[in-house]
């Protein structure tokens, strides 16, 4: 092998195909767009779900159920987990629970559930408490503080518009 042969046959910048320049080019006459049909026109491009004109599979599949994408995500933590992670007399808030890694990911409100035993007195602040959790926290000598959540929209009332006053 010679040093001059190392890069032989390597083309870094490939020239683009010049279509519609006669039959000798291999892409003459219809310029590689076929005969007739919507794909032959300039500027036409198919959408991502296009399947040649038939009903796309995404539209054939039945869609069932309900998914509220704009709803609140509520994280749930049991009193058993609080007992394991926090010392006696500690103040437990949504922030400290997030730092302790008990409620991971994205969530808007926190609910304390009553599964397990609580042997320490804790000052717990959360948006929601189950009846059993509230009872167990107070029985252990702790305090329960309910945080305000997002204000619910009353049924039948319109939201105030954000339009600026004219003038």
Summarised one tens digit per residue, pLDDT across range 90-146 is: 999 999 999 999 999 989 999 999 999 999 999 999 999 999 999 999 999 999 999
Say if 112 falls within a structural domain: yes
Amino acid 161: pLDDT: 62
Say if 131 falls within a structural domain: yes
As a whole number, the mean pLDDT across the chain is 88
Q: Give the range of the structural domain holding residue 116, as residue numbers without chain letter.
A: 74-146
Q: 10 Å Cβ neighbour count for 31?
A: 14
* CB-based contact 32:20 (threshold 8 Å): no
Going by pLDDT thresholds of 50, 70 and 90, the confidence category of residue 167 is: low
DSSP-assigned beta bridge partners for residue 146: 126
Amino acid 40: pLDDT: 86
Say if 81 falls within a structural domain: yes
Please determine, for residue 49, whether its predicted confidence score (pLDDT) is greater than 90: no
Please determine, for residue 152, whether its predicted confidence score (pLDDT) is greater than 70: no
Amino acid 162: pLDDT: 63
* Number of domains observed in the structure of the chain: 1
What token pair was written down for 161?
A: 């518009």
Say if 63 falls within a structural domain: no
What token pair was written down for 154?
A: 């009353």
Please determine, for residue 70, whether its predicted confidence score (pLDDT) is greater than 80: no
What CATH number has the domain bearing residue 91?
A: 3.100.10.10
Say if 102 falls within a structural domain: yes
What token pair was written down for 102?
A: 């008990």
123's CB contacts (< 8 A; 6+ apart) are 89, 90, 91, 92, 142, 143, 145
Model pTM?
0.53
More confident residue, 4 or 136: 136
Mean pLDDT of 70-80: 91
27's CB contacts (< 8 A; 6+ apart) are 17, 18, 19, 20, 21
């Amino acid at each position: 092998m010679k040093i001059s042969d190392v890069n032989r046959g390597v083309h870094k910048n490939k020239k683009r195909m010049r279509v519609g320049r006669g039959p000798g080019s291999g892409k003459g006459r219809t310029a590689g767009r076929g005969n007739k049909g919507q794909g032959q026109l300039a500027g036409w491009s198919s959408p991502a779900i296009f399947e040649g004109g038939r009903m796309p599979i995404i539209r054939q599949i039945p869609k069932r159920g309900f998914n509220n994408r704009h709803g609140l995500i509520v994280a749930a933590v049991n009193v058993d987990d609080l007992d394991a992670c926090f010392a006696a007399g500690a103040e437990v808030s949504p922030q400290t629970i997030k730092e302790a890694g008990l409620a991971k990911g994205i969530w808007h409100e926190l609910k304390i559930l009553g599964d397990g035993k609580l042997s320490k007195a804790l000052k717990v602040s959360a948006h929601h408490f189950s009846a059993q959790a509230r009872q167990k926290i107070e029985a252990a000598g702790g305090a329960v503080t309910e945080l305000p959540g997002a204000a619910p929209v009353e049924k039948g009332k319109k939201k105030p518009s954000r339009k600026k006053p004219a003038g």
